[in-house]
C-alpha cells in the first residue's frame, strides 16, 4: 500500500503508513510443551487469562489465534508471537487457530500461505483450525451497512493525501471531511456502488464516524474500506472493496470466538478502535479482548517482512530461505532446531517494554541443544597435506589402513561409535601448521609433537614448498606406541588436531556465515537497513575434505565438525554444509563483560 492512501493516518500520528501499523519501535524482548525444552514460567498475559478463568469471563474458555498476513515468509519475530499464542492457549487447555489476515489482494500470495503453515508446523505447533479473514467478507460488509445505517460510517470522496492531512496530529486539530454529514441514504448507495466496481481505486473510501478531535489518531474517522482492483488469491475477483486491518481484525476474532487476541505493542493505540467496532455491532458473540506485548527483535538483523522482502527482491540474499535470513525457512536451512527457537521465546519471557536482544543469546540456546544431540565428525575445511613418512605398507606394497572407533557424541553414550580410517596420507587444517610458529602457537611446527585426535602422536620433520615458497605438504613421523593418542611414557603434547585420511575422504563445500548486517541496529544511521549490509556475510569454502561417513548425512541433519562448529547438511545440494553456529559461546563472554562493567 502506498503512503497517502486513505487509510493512512497523517504524519505525526502514532501509526505509521499503512492500513496496519508497522513496527518502527526497537524492541527486545509449546504446548506442545514438547515443542520447547522446558515449561514456560507464567507471564503477564497468562496471569490475565488465569484471572479471566477464575472470574468466569468467557465461561472459562481460552481461545487465541495467530493472525499472519500472507505477504511474506515468517521470521524469528513471528516465532515469538506463535509461541505466545499457542503456549497461552495450551497451558489452559484452550485452542489456538491460525487466521490469515488476507485483506490486501495486492501483496498476498498462495506461496506465502503455504510457507506460513509449513513453518508453524515445523516449530512444533498444530493449529486447531486454519481460518481466513476473507471468509468473512460478506459478514463484514453487512456490518459496515449496519454502521452506515446507524450514522456511524460514511463514504468519503476525498483522496488519501487529503484525508491524511486532515487527520492532524497530537496537539493539532483534525478537520472534518465535507462528506462527513452526507445523508445515510447517499452513503448506502455509494457503498453499494463501490462494491459493484463502479469506481477507481482511491476515488472514495468508507470511514467510521467517530471523533476528529480524539487524542487517539486511530479514532479520527479511520478508514474501514478501500477500493482495490487487484486479484485476490482466494476470493479472486469477487470483491473490489477490501476491509482495513482495523475493520477486519476484531470482528474476525469475534466471529471465531477468540477470547484473548494477543498482538504486539504497536497495536496498543488501536485497542480503543478495536473495542469501538465491537461495541457498535449487533454481535451475537462475546467480545474478545486485545492484549499487547513487546515485539521480539535482535541485533544485527531485521524482523520486518517489508525489509526482508526487499532483500529478496534486490538479490542481496539467495531467497527467503537463505541461511543468513532471520526467516524460519532460513533458520531451518541453517540448521536451527525448532525447539531452540521456541525454547528461547519462552525463556526470554513476555514484556511490555521494547528492547533488542543480542543475537548471541539465541545462538547460545541453539548451541546448547545441538551440543546435546549432534553427532561429532571430522572435516578439514582448508586442507594441507600431512604425510607420515614412517607409515607402514602391507606385503603387497599398499599402505596399511588402520581403523579407529571414535565416539559419536560424548554427551550421549547411546550414540555409540563409528569407524574412521587412518593412513599415512592425511590432511589437516592449514592453520594448524606454522613454519615460523609465533609465541603461544602450540599446534604443529617442525620438530614439535601433537596428537591427531583419537589416533597417534605425530612429529613434523620437514616441509615441501612450491616455487613461491608456500608450504604445500608437511612431512611427519608417527609414534606407533601411541595408538589411541596417548604415550605410554606419559609425555604430554599441547595440541590435539582433527584430521582426515585422504583415500577415505568425501569432498565437501562449507558455507561459513557472519552477521548479515554489520551494524547492531541495521538502518539506524541512514534509515535504510541495506546500507548496513555486511559485505562478507558468507564465505564459501570448496575443496574441503570430510571423513567418509559425512557422505551419509541426510539433508537437514546437523553434525558437529570437531573444533569448527555445528554444520547443517543442505536439503537440496549434497555435500554442501552450512555452519549453524560456531563452538564458542560468545553470549557467555558478553555476559561476563556486562557483569564486569
Ligand atoms: P512485519 O512487520 O514483519 O511485516 P507484521 O506484523 O506485519 O510483521 P503479520 O503477518 O501481520 O506481520 O504478523 C502476524 C502476527 O505476528 C501479529 O500478531 C504480529 O503482532 C506478530 N509479530 C510480527 N512481528 C513480530 C515480532 N517481531 N515479534 C513478535 N510478534 C511479531
Ligand atoms: Mg505489521
How wide is the angle at C-alpha 393 spanned by C-alphas 390 and 395, nearest 5°?
145
For residue 7, what pLDDT is reported? 38
Query: Domain check: are 414 and 552 in the same one?
Result: no
Q: Which residues of 191-229 are buried (b: 16+ CB within 10 A; e: fewer)?
A: beebbeeebebbebbbbbbbebeeebbbbbbbbbbbbbe
Is the confidence at residue 267, as pLDDT, over 70?
A: yes
Q: Is 526 exposed, middle or buried (0-12, 13-18, 19+ CB in 10 A)?
A: exposed
81 lines ligand 1 (CB under 6 A): yes
Query: Would you say how long the chain is, in residues?
Result: 597
Confidence of residue 541 (pLDDT cuts 50, 70, 90): very high
Residue 305 falls in the annotated catalytic set? yes
Query: What is the Å distance from ligand 1's center to 579 Cα?
Result: 28
Query: Domain check: are 334 and 429 in the same one?
Result: no
Query: Domain check: are 361 and 396 in the same one?
Result: no
For residue 439, what are the contacts with CB-CB under 8 A and spacing of at least 6?
A: none
264 lines ligand 1 (CB under 6 A): yes
Confidence of residue 1 (pLDDT cuts 50, 70, 90): very low
C-alpha cell of 462? Answer: 620437514
Ligand 1: residue whose CA is nearest its atom 10: 68
Strands (E), 273-423: 289-293, 297-298, 356-357, 375-377, 379-380, 383-388, 402-407, 417-422
Q: Report the alpha-carbon distance of residue 138 to residue 143 in Å, rounded.
A: 9
The answer to whether residue 53 is domain-embedded is: yes
Span 151-170, mean pLDDT?
A: 97
The answer to whether residue 115 is domain-embedded is: yes
Query: What is the Å distance from ligand 2's center to 217 Cα?
Result: 18
Q: Sort strands 95-100 and 130-132 into parallel, antiparallel or unpaired.
A: parallel
Query: Which-ligand-closest: CA of 84?
Result: 1
Please identify every residue whose CB atom is under 5 Å from ligand 2, which is an ion: 20, 22
Q: Are the C-beta atoms of 466 and 379 separated by less than 8 Å? A: no
The answer to whether residue 220 is domain-embedded is: yes
Is the confidence at residue 510, as pLDDT, over 50?
A: yes
Is the confidence at residue 24, as pLDDT, over 90?
A: no
Is the confidence at residue 497, as pLDDT, over 50?
A: yes
Q: What is the CATH number of the domain that holds 398?
A: 2.40.240.10
Confidence of residue 585 (pLDDT cuts 50, 70, 90): confident
Query: Which-ligand-closest: CA of 133?
Result: 1
Q: Report the alpha-carbon distance of residue 311 to residue 529 in Å, rounded.
A: 10
For residue 15, what are the contacts with CB-CB under 8 A and spacing of at least 6?
A: 9, 21, 217, 218, 266, 269, 270
Q: Report the alpha-carbon distance of residue 484 to residue 406 in Å, rounded.
A: 10
Ligand 1: residue whose CA is nearest its atom 18: 263
Q: Which atom of ligand 1 is nearest to the CA of 75?
A: 3
Phi, psi of 202 (to 5 degrees): 85, -10
The answer to whether residue 34 is domain-embedded is: no
Confidence of residue 589 (pLDDT cuts 50, 70, 90): confident
306 lines ligand 1 (CB under 6 A): yes
DSSP string for 394-428: -TTSPBP-EEEEEES-TT-GGG-EEEEEE-SEEEE
Ligand 1: residue whose CA is nearest its atom 6: 22
Query: Domain check: are 68 and 173 in the same one?
Result: yes
For residue 38, what pLDDT is reported? 53
CA 223 centroid distance within chain = 32
For residue 312, what are the contacts with CB-CB under 8 A and spacing of at least 6?
A: 319, 320
Query: Domain check: are 66 and 51 in the same one?
Result: yes
Owner of C-alpha cell 561429532: 376
Query: Domain check: are 181 and 103 in the same one?
Result: yes
Query: What is the Å distance from ligand 1's center to 57 Cα?
Result: 27
Q: Report the alpha-carbon distance of residue 4 to residue 6 in Å, rounded.
A: 6
DSSP letter assigned to residue 535 = T
98 lines ligand 1 (CB under 6 A): no
Query: Domain check: are 93 and 161 in the same one?
Result: yes
Ligand 1: residue whose CA is nearest its atom 25: 77
Query: What is the Å distance from ligand 2's center to 20 Cα?
Result: 6
Q: What is the CATH number of the domain that holds 209?
A: 3.40.50.620
Identify the domain boundary among 233, 267, 293. 293
Q: Are the C-beta atoms of 162 and 141 separated by less than 8 Å? A: no
Beta bridge partner(s), residue 501: 426
Query: Which-ligand-closest: CA of 19?
Result: 2
Query: What is the Å distance from ligand 1's center to 68 Cα?
Result: 7
Residue 473 falls in the annotated catalytic set? no
Query: What is the Å distance from ligand 1's center to 8 Cα?
Result: 19
Owner of C-alpha cell 519462552: 346
Give me the domain span that covers residue 402. Answer: 379-498
For residue 112, what are the contacts with CB-CB under 8 A and spacing of at least 6?
A: 70, 71, 72, 73
21 lines ligand 1 (CB under 6 A): no
Is the confidence at residue 113, as pLDDT, over 70?
A: yes
Phi, psi of 182 (to 5 degrees): -65, 155
Among candidate residues 65, 295, 377, 579, the one labeled active-site is: 295
Query: Domain check: are 279 and 338 in the same one?
Result: no
For residue 594, what pLDDT is reported? 84
- The pTM for the full model equals 0.91
The answer to whether residue 13 is domain-embedded is: no
Phi, psi of 154 (to 5 degrees): -150, 155
Query: Domain check: are 78 and 173 in the same one?
Result: yes
Query: Which-ligand-closest: CA of 82?
Result: 1
Query: What is the Å distance from ligand 1's center to 266 Cα?
Result: 10
Confidence of residue 587 (pLDDT cuts 50, 70, 90): confident
Identify the domain boundary among 474, 498, 522. 498
User: How do residues 275-289 score in pLDDT, each as one tens digit?
Assistant: 999 999 999 888 999
Owner of C-alpha cell 555435500: 575
Identify the domain boundary among 433, 466, 498. 498
23 lines ligand 1 (CB under 6 A): yes
CA 131 centroid distance within chain = 23
Q: Report the alpha-carbon distance of residue 265 to residue 99 in Å, rounded.
A: 19
For residue 18, what pLDDT is reported? 35
Q: Report the alpha-carbon distance of residue 445 to residue 500 in Å, rounded.
A: 18
Among candidate residues 7, 37, 69, 429, the one labeled active-site is: 69
367 lines ligand 1 (CB under 6 A): no
Q: Report the alpha-carbon distance of residue 238 to residue 241 in Å, rounded.
A: 9
For residue 40, what pLDDT is reported? 65
Confidence of residue 37 (pLDDT cuts 50, 70, 90): low
Ligand 1: residue whose CA is nearest its atom 2: 304
Query: Domain check: are 78 and 153 in the same one?
Result: yes
78 lines ligand 1 (CB under 6 A): yes
Q: Report the alpha-carbon distance of residue 108 to residue 100 in Å, rounded.
A: 10
Query: Which-ligand-closest: CA of 309?
Result: 1
Query: What is the Å distance from ligand 2's center to 483 Cα?
Result: 61
Question: Across all residues in the chain, what is the average pLDDT?
Answer: 92
For residue 252, what are the contacts with CB-CB under 8 A and spacing of at least 6?
A: 67, 99, 101, 131, 133, 136
Query: Domain check: are 370 and 384 in the same one?
Result: no
For residue 276, what are the contacts with CB-CB under 8 A and spacing of at least 6?
A: 208, 210, 219
Is the confidence at residue 28, as pLDDT, over 50?
A: no
DSSP string for 211-255: -TT-SSGGGSS-EEEEE--SPBTTTBTS-SEEE-HHHHHHHHHHH
Q: Which atom of ligand 1 is nearest to the CA of 23?
A: 2
Q: How many domains does the structure of the chain reveal? A: 3
Q: Which of 17, 66, 81 to mutate to test the pocket of ligand 1 (most atoms within 8 A of CB)?
A: 81
Q: Which of 68, 75, 78, 302 to mutate to test the pocket of ligand 1 (most atoms within 8 A of CB)?
A: 78
Q: Are the C-beta atoms of 511 and 547 separated by less than 8 Å? A: no
Query: What is the Å distance from ligand 1's center to 22 Cα?
Result: 8
Span 228-243, mean pLDDT?
A: 97
The answer to whether residue 56 is domain-embedded is: yes
Span 521-542, mean pLDDT?
A: 94
The answer to whether residue 37 is domain-embedded is: no
Residue 167 falls in the annotated catalytic set? no
The answer to whether residue 533 is domain-embedded is: yes
Query: Domain check: are 94 and 135 in the same one?
Result: yes
Owner of C-alpha cell 558478553: 590
Q: Which of 15, 17, 23, 72 to mutate to test the pocket of ligand 1 (most atoms within 8 A of CB)?
A: 23
Among 257, 339, 348, which residue's Cα sits nearest to residue 297?
A: 348
Q: Report the alpha-carbon distance of residue 223 to residue 321 in Å, rounded.
A: 35
For residue 563, what pLDDT is reported? 97
Ligand 1: residue whose CA is nearest its atom 7: 22
Q: Report the alpha-carbon distance of residue 135 to residue 252 in Å, rounded.
A: 9
Confidence of residue 241 (pLDDT cuts 50, 70, 90): very high
Amino acid at each position: 500500500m502506498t503512503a497517502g492512501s486513505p487509510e493512512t493516518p497523517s504524519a505525526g500520528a502514532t501509526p505509521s503508513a499503512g492500513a496496519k501499523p508497522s513496527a518502527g519501535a526497537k524492541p527486545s524482548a509449546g504446548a506442545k510443551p514438547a515443542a520447547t525444552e522446558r515449561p514456560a514460567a507464567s507471564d503477564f498475559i497468562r496471569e490475565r487469562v488465569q484471572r479471566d478463568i477464575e472470574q468466569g469471563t468467557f465461561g472459562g474458555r481460552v481461545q487465541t489465534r495467530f493472525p499472519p498476513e500472507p505477504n511474506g515468509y515468517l521470521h524469528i519475530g513471528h516465532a515469538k508471537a506463535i509461541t505466545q499464542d499457542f503456549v497461552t492457549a495450551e497451558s489452559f487447555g484452550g485452542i489456538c487457530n491460525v487466521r490469515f489476515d488476507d485483506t490486501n489482494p495486492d501483496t498476498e500470495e498462495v506461496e506465502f500461505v503455504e510457507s506460513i503453515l509449513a513453518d508453524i508446523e515445523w516449530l512444533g505447533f498444530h493449529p486447531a483450525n486454519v481460518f481466513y479473514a476473507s471468509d468473512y467478507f460478506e459478514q463484514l460488509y453487512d456490518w459496515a451497512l449496519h454502521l452506515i445505517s446507524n450514522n456511524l460510517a460514511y463514504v468519503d470522496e476525498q483522496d488519501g493525501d487529503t484525508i491524511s492531512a486532515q487527520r492532524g496530529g497530537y496537539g493539532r486539530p483534525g478537520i472534518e471531511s465535507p462528506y462527513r454529514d452526507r445523508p445515510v441514504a447517499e452513503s448506502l448507495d455509494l457503498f453499494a456502488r463501490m462494491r459493484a466496481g463502479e469506481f477507481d481505486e482511491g476515488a472514495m473510501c468508507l470511514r467510521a464516524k467517530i471523533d476528529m478531535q480524539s487524542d487517539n489518531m486511530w479514532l479520527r474517522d479511520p478508514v474501514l474500506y478501500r477500493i482495490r482492483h487487484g486479484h485476490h488469491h482466494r476470493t479472486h475477483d469477487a470483491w473490489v472493496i477490501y476491509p482495513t486491518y482495523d475493520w477486519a481484525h476484531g470482528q474476525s476474532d469475534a466471529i471465531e470466538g477468540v477470547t484473548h487476541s494477543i498482538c504486539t505493542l504497536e497495536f496498543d493505540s488501536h485497542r480503543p478502535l478495536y473495542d469501538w467496532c465491537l461495541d457498535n455491532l449487533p454481535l451475537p458473540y462475546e467480545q474478545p479482548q486485545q492484549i499487547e506485548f513487546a515485539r521480539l527483535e535482535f541485533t544485527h538483523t531485521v524482523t520486518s517482512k517489508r525489509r526482508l522482502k526487499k532483500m529478496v527482491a534486490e538479490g542481496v540474499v539467495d531467497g527467503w530461505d537463505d541461511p543468513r535470513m532471520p526467516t524460519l525457512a532460513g533458520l531451518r536451512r541453517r540448521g536451527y532446531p525448532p525447539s531452540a527457537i521456541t525454547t528461547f521465546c519462552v525463556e526470554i519471557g513476555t514484556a511490555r517494554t521494547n528492547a533488542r536482544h543480542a543475537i548471541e543469546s539465541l545462538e547460545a540456546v541453539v548451541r546448547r541443544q545441538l551440543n546435546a544431540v549432534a553427532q561429532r565428525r571430522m572435516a578439514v575445511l582448508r586442507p594441507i597435506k600431512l604425510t607420515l613418512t614412517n607409515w607402514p605398507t602391507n606385503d603387497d606394497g599398499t599402505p596399511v589402513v588402520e581403523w579407529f572407533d571414535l565416539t559419536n557424541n560424548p554427551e550421549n553414550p547411546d550414540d555409540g561409535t563409528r569407524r574412521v580410517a587412518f593412513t599415512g596420507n592425511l590432511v589437516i587444517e592449514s592453520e594448524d601448521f606454522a613454519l615460523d610458529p609465533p609465541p603461544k602457537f602450540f599446534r604443529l611446527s617442525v620438530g614439535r609433537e601433537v596428537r591427531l585426535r583419537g589416533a597417534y602422536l605425530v612429529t613434523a620433520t620437514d616441509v615441501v614448498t612450491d616455487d613461491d615458497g608456500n608450504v604445500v605438504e608437511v612431512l611427519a613421523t608417527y609414534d606407533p606406541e601411541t595408538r589411541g593418542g596417548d604415550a605410554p611414557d606419559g609425555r604430554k603434547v599441547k595440541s590435539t588436531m582433527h584430521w582426515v585420511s585422504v583415500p577415505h575422504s568425501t569432498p565437501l563445500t562449507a558455507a561459513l556465515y557472519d552477521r548479515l548486517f554489520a551494524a547492531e541496529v541495521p538502518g539506524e544511521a541512514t534509515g535504510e537497513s541495506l546500507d548496513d549490509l555486511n559485505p562478507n556475510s558468507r564465505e564459501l569454502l570448496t575443496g574441503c575434505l570430510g571423513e567418509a561417513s559425512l557422505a551419509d548425512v541426510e539433508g537437514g541433519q546437523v553434525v558437529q565438525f570437531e573444533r569448527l562448529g555445528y554444520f547443517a547438511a543442505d536439503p537440496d545440494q549434497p555435500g554442501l554444509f552450512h555452519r549453524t553456529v560456531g563452538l564458542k559461546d560468545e553470549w557467555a563472554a558478553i555476559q561476563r563483560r556486562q557483569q564486569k562493567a
